[in-house]
Chains A and B, each alone.
Chain A
């Protein structure tokens, strides 16, 4: 129900028309968001929590650092599909008292994928977790490493 402004005099025709247009728009917005709101977003934003990442590179490898504070080892899953690295998992909500709780932190499932610019060697990917930071080291595939070519002088 809309809250209608109190008017001392009967509504003029114009304001009645405007009111109707306004409520029609609100209704359309409501239908639009409930129908398309969730499915039109990109897959990356479907999950509420997308951890922030930094990516480093040198000539031999990539290093991906992700902010994942307060997780247990078993709450972190890392997978690699071609050059796309996916970090996912779930953080459980541990509440010791039900009295009062104010929360800003994210709980539940999280997922983050990123595609590296060159192929990597999937058998030598290493991951470590420290101080709430996940670090994944991905060596570049041999064919992706820069090669030095000697110039023969004659």
Chain B
């Protein structure tokens, strides 16, 4: 992916797993080479954007063969309106960004016991 002509930065789309639970959703995105400080998560107009900036390599040797795309990771999701966006959680471990998206209390399934 080369940068576009209007100089907008190019991004790599991370591979993700999305799990649905009673409490909401869990997104796990592959962002190898991204540290905690390189993660930016934003919610705007019902859209969740996850961004992972790769840490620049410390290697000074000459690159003789490249397969890894040198661009940052970015992916945008439209949010289910039942998600409580004030309670998003995120962490990154070994290049996997985990974002938890809990549903608002009012929409969670409730068990009602019969008296």
Q: Which positions in A face B, CB cutoff 8 Å?
A: 52-58, 61, 63, 65, 67-71, 95-97, 99-106, 114, 117, 129, 131-133
Contacts and interface: CB of A to CB of B under 8 A. Distances in A.
B66 A54 contact: yes
Contacts of B57: 65
A104 B15 CA distance: 6
Interface residues of B, number: 32
B1 interface: no
A97 B61 CA distance: 45
A58 B63 CA distance: 9
Contacts of A97: 19-22
A77 to B, nearest CB: 17
B17 A102 contact: yes
A54 B16 CA distance: 22
B19 A95 contact: yes
Contacts of B61: 56-58, 61, 63
B52 to A, nearest CB: 10
B64 interface: yes
B64 A104 contact: no
5 contacts: A54-B68, A55-B63, A69-B30, A97-B20, A105-B30
B19 A104 contact: no
Nearest to B26: A96
A102 B32 CA distance: 20
Given A63-B61, A99-B20, A101-B18, 4 more contacts: A54-B66, A58-B60, A71-B94, A132-B33
Interface in B34-53: 34-35
Nearest to A70: B96
B31 interface: yes
Contacts of B91: none
A132 B35 CA distance: 10
Interface string B9-29: 000000111111110000010
